[in-house]
Structure 1
Amino acid sequence: MLGLGADLLWVDMNRLLSFLFHQGVLDEQFLQLHQLQDETSPNFVSEVVNIYFHESEKLLKNLRELLMEKELSEYKRIGIHLNELIGSSSSIGAKRVTNVCISFQAATHQNNPVGCMRALEMLEHEYCYLKNKLHELFQIEQQRALAARVRYPVQN
């Protein structure tokens, strides 16, 4: 029997996921990623997402540095970093981050430094929001898993 706490945490987890889908933060790819998680790899999703966070932070840092150089020749390198970020973001279901990257790409194709800087700020904002919400989700999931293991003694 699951403890009442585990049931409530399950509800909280599903509510947060529903909110993130409704807001367009995540898409169905995140659910497909979740389907790869099982008893043999109970932390699969959080491990994949943490790798994504680690790599994305490097890409965001590189993007900011390239934009600060203000060289028009750097737009091609910016595009390479954006392609990497689009691929990794879409593979974990980070829909809004992916969409902002696509807008950012359009600004680079137009050689628009102001548009690129604005897009970078939006990208950093969406990335931070995604990171905070997924950390919140993983904390609830971890608490739920711990609560589910708790067995309460039967009262006579």
Structure 2
Amino acid sequence: MAATALREQLNGLVNSMFAEGLLDQQFQQLQMLQDGSTPGFVAEVVTLFCEDSERILTELTKLMDQALVDYSKVDAYVHQLKGSSSSVGAQNVKLACIQFRQFCEENNKEGCVRALNVVKHEYYRLRSKFETMLQLESRIQAYENKQQN
């Protein structure tokens, strides 16, 4: 498949992510930071975001499984995830984290468990689209490298 067709597919995917509310304008800011000297910048940031999010979600799941929940620890992790989400433009994850933090402030375990499930759902939805995006970018890069040789 030609690089042009792959780029169109990639642009369509990213546009659909904006339309679904998965991404906000912060992601556009990230894209603008990528140029010829840093072709893998967005992919690197997205990969780091996903790795960090996986770690945080694992910790949050462990904390919420405790009989006595340490809401200050939960809140600290949710705050960290909210910040990471904001920095990559993961709008739905960020919004879900805001709701989660409200339940933490209320020491509401049931609300926190529900909120954690919403955060996970939004994150996994986004991660799936990010994985497709990274595969397309990788294929475009491989095609362009092949053309140069």
Give the TM-score taking structure 1 as reference length: 0.88
Q: Could you list the per-position Cα deviations for residues 98-138 of structure 1 after superposition, in whole angstroms to 9, with x for gaps in the alignment?
A: 01111111111122111111111111111111111011011
Q: Which structure would you say has the larger Rg?
A: 1
**Deviation of 1:149 (Å):** 4.2
Tell me which stretches of 4 or more aligned residues in structure 1 moved more than 3 Å.
148-151
Q: Which runs of 5+ in 1 are unaligned?
A: 152-156
Distance of 1:60 and 1:149 partners within structure 2: 37
Aligned counterpart for 1:11 among listed residues 8, 14, 28:
8
Provide the alpha-carbon RMSD of the alignment.
1.6
Matched residue, 2:17? 20
Q: Which runs of 5+ in 2 are unaligned?
A: none
Give the number of aligned pairs.
Answer: 148
Counterpart check, 1:131 vs 2:106: no
Distance of 2:97 and 2:64 partners within structure 1: 14
**Deviation of 1:92 (Å):** 0.5
Does the 8 Å CA contact 1:104/1:119 hold for their aligned counterparts? yes
After the TM superposition, which of the residue ranges 106-115 and 17-26 deviates more from structure 2? 106-115
Q: Which has the higher contact order (CA 8 A, sep 6+)?
A: 1
Counterpart check, 1:56 vs 2:53: yes
Q: Could you list the per-position Cα deviations for residues 130-153 of structure 1 after superposition, in whole angstroms to 9, with x for gaps in the alignment?
A: 1110110111122123333444xx
Identity, % of aligned positions: 36
